[in-house]
Amino acid sequence: MKRFLTRAVLFGTAAGIAFAAPASNSPLSGVGVNGGSGLSLPMQIALSMTLMVLLPAAIMSITPFLRITIVLHFLRQALGTQTTPSNQVMIGLAMFLSMLIIQPVAMEIYHTAWEPMDQGKLTAEQAMDEGAKPLKAFLSRFAREKDVKLFVEIAKAPQPRNASDLGLTVLIPAYILSELRTGFQIGAMLFLPFLVIDLVVASVTVSIGMVQLPPVMLSAPFKILLFVLVDGWNLVIGSLMKSFT
């Protein structure tokens, strides 16, 4: 079961760039009806359906999508714009930004694991080992040592000598936990300047006796104006992208 999940994550990540790459370079373009990948047609269909089911979970969990969506959510809450931008816009922006960051890793997995296996140069087990290397390198860059240690203890696995000794069953939850912490940290920092505006507006409205008018209604235009004047979207997205380099 562990090997199946690991293989699905690896190949699902590589298959995720199929719609972003040209058709001739697509990871699925080499799989023909006559079993070009060495698998029977029913097995190819079963594998494709499995990858389609697991691909959304892989995109949301082991890519920068997690951190980006958390930060964008906190930003919208801090601005007080409720549903603007809409959820579809926020998810779409997070997805394309994630593709931009993860594409080099996915292409490396495709060229070192999927492509040789499709050509019969590597077995499935060898392809899984080769494909795990770039994914492990990416996850270990952002997984905190404290979180890795936690899941090593939970899994009762032997202490690793380096990052390459860690399995994906340890690295993936450690990465998710680290990204949640980082996303909440960035979101809290985004809240501070807008919170100051809310406090100032609330103090002014109370001091002049405007208790009937909610301070949030008055502070919202000031927050939006401040965000636009400092080119907030460029600053936030630029800082997010640079945090993954």
Q: What are the tens digits of pLDDT across the range 114-143?
A: 777 777 777 777 777 777 788 888 888 888
From 23-27, 60-64, 133-137, the region with the lowest mean pLDDT? 23-27
8 A C-beta contact, residue 179 and residue 61: no
Quick one: average pLDDT of 172-191? 90
| pLDDT tens, residue by residue, 189-241 | 888 888 888 888 888 877 777 667 677 777 788 888 888 888 888 988 988 88
Q: Which pLDDT does position 181 carry in this prediction? A: 92
Q: Which pLDDT does position 22 carry in this prediction? A: 37
Decide which of 21 and 101 is more confident. 101
CB contact burial 57-71 (16+ within 10 A = b; e otherwise): ebbbbbbbbbbbbbb
Q: Mean pLDDT, the chain, as a whole number?
A: 77
pTM attached to this predicted model: 0.73
Q: Please compute, for residue 106, the number of CA atoms within 13 A of its CA located in the half-sphere on the CB side.
A: 27
Query: Per-residue pLDDT for 2 more than 60?
Result: no
| pLDDT tens, residue by residue, 90-120 | 888 988 998 888 888 888 888 887 777 777 7
From 16-30, 39-53, 224-238, the region with the lowest mean pLDDT? 16-30
Q: What is the largest CA-CA distance in the chain?
A: 79
Gap between the Cα atoms of 81 and 78, Å rounded: 8
Decide which of 35 and 236 is more confident. 236
**pLDDT band per the 50, 70, 90 thresholds, residue 38:** low
Query: Per-residue pLDDT for 37 more than 60?
Result: no
Decide which of 8 and 98 is more confident. 98
8 A C-beta contact, residue 151 and residue 172: no
Three-state DSSP class for residue 158: coil
Q: Which pLDDT does position 211 carry in this prediction? A: 66
In the chain, % of residues over pLDDT 90: 4
Cite the DSSP H helix spans in 41-86. 41-61, 65-79
Gap between the Cα atoms of 51 and 230, Å rounded: 42
